Amino acid sequence: MSVTLDEVKQVYAEADCLFTAAQVEEAIDRMAREIAARLADANPIIFCVMNGGLIVSGRLLPKLEFPLEAEYLHATRYGHKLYGTSLDWKVRPTKQLKGRSVLIVDDILDEGETLGAIADWCRDMEAKEVLTAVLVDKEHDRKARPDLVPEFVGLMTPDRYLFGFGMDYKGYWRNAPGIFALKGY
């Protein structure tokens, strides 16, 4: 089912703004300070999870004023519950992770299946430590793994359908200037 440009425009016009661009930037600034305090001397590899993590990583990385290697990865998981931790790699990391600190940056922690599987994969590659950073952590009781708690969280949000700052509505509005919730959801 395709989406029309009129639908996409209407969704934005009717959405509830949960956080303005300025509030999101403040959250990213705080995350950067917390990450620097933890990783400034760790020589980390920082992975941007595509596509959602692109905007967050783009805003975050210039604020990390210490040596790091920036990479990206693109992985999705199979929808069937039996394969919840199996990854379908669109772009697999090429860096050697053994003995390195790894930070995985994504836009949102909703249920966490994919983020958890990526973190597990990094541990399997013998990373020294694997940390996660998300701009948004949704508050609900449907987390796939209760042990998956991001070390760095920008904002906590209600359990609504969100878009903006990397999160999308049917592929659109990742670029929305703030974090918005779909009307009625």
Cβ neighbours of residue 164 under 8 Å, at least 6 residues apart?
A: 173, 174, 175, 176, 177, 178, 179, 180
Phi, psi torsion values for 57, nearest 5 degrees? -60, -40
Measure the CA–CA gap between 78 and 71, rounded to whole angstroms. Answer: 23
Is position 166 within any domain? no
Cβ neighbours of residue 21 under 8 Å, at least 6 residues apart?
A: 177, 178
Is position 126 within any domain? yes
Per-residue pLDDT at 82: 36
Tens-digit pLDDT string for the chain (185 aa): 688 999 999 999 999 999 999 999 999 999 999 999 999 999 999 999 998 999 999 999 999 999 999 999 998 764 433 344 467 888 888 889 999 999 999 999 988 888 998 999 999 999 999 999 999 999 988 888 888 899 999 999 999 999 999 999 999 999 999 999 999 87
Domain with 57, as residue range(s), is 21-158
**Total structural domains in the chain?**
1
Residue 58: CATH number of its domain: 3.40.50.2020
Measure the CA–CA gap between 76 and 173, rounded to whole angstroms. Answer: 20
Q: Residue 82's CB: how many other CB atoms inside 10 A?
A: 7
pTM for the whole structure: 0.92
